Amino acid sequence: MKKLLTISAIVLLALSSSVPAAGDQEEPTLMLIPSVKPNFSLEWIIELKREQTQLEIEAEQQRALEENTVKLNKVIEAVTDRVGKTRYVFSGSTPSGWDCSGLVMWVYSKLGVELQHSASIQQYAGVTVEQPKLGDIVVFKYNGRKSAYHVGIYLYPDTMIHAGGGRGDETSIVSISKFAGEHSKVIYKRVVETQ
């Protein structure tokens, strides 16, 4: 019992000394937790920066894909508008008259890509793909030959737009497999990445 009274007296004494009198305007005492300085290693900081940079690169790539897709759709709309209107002109490269590589060259110039005016040179542009997408170059080569004899622009499965194959022919949309026939190899080249 004596022990209990002693503890109670100590608690009361502690409370009374920490509680200000009614007239006192003492500022409340805040107990601060000492700040703990994190121990970040140099390797951790470098890794964090690398991840941040990678995210920025991926975001930039996504923006570029979106921009390329919008531009490509506008260019495809413009070139398909020339169907039945633009005649085949040897060495031509404008909507007033073009040959096959001139049409491809014109399409890609609108996307900011310079291609040479030759089907055999355009076959080396970009990368070869197995699954073509809108805007890819369709290259035709005779079996066993190195040089290309014709190019067009891929639209959708088994379909391309091209400058007709001879003088006076008009820009048209045709079947890739029918145009290729049995004696041609068809290659798809991707120059611009899109979504």
H or E element in which residue 10 lies: helix 2-18
- What confidence score (pLDDT) does residue 48 get? 81
| Domains of the chain: residue spans and CATH | 62-190 (3.90.1720.10)
Residue length of the chain? 195
**If 0-12 CB within 10 Å is exposed, 13-18 middle and 19+ buried, where does residue 53 land?**
exposed
By the 10 Å C-beta count (0-12 exposed, 13-18 middle, 19+ buried), 86 is classed as buried
Q: pTM of the prediction?
A: 0.74
Candidates 160, 114, 131; CA nearest to 150 is 160
Output the pLDDT for position 49: 84
139 with 188: CB under 8 angstroms?
Answer: yes
The per-residue pLDDT string of the chain (195 residues; one tens digit each, 9 = 90 and over) reads 444 444 444 444 444 444 455 555 666 565 565 665 566 788 888 888 888 888 999 999 999 999 999 999 999 999 999 999 999 999 999 999 999 999 999 999 999 999 999 999 999 999 999 999 999 999 999 999 999 999 999 999 999 999 987 667 999 999 999 999 999 999 999 999 999
Helix axes 100-109, 42-80, angle to 10 degrees: 130
Which secondary structure element, helix H or strand E, spans residue 162, and what is its range? strand 159-162
Please give the order of strands across the beta sheet that includes 127-129.
127-129, 184-190, 137-142, 148-156, 159-162, 172-175
Q: What is the pLDDT of residues 59-81, one digit of tens each?
A: 999 999 999 999 999 999 999 99
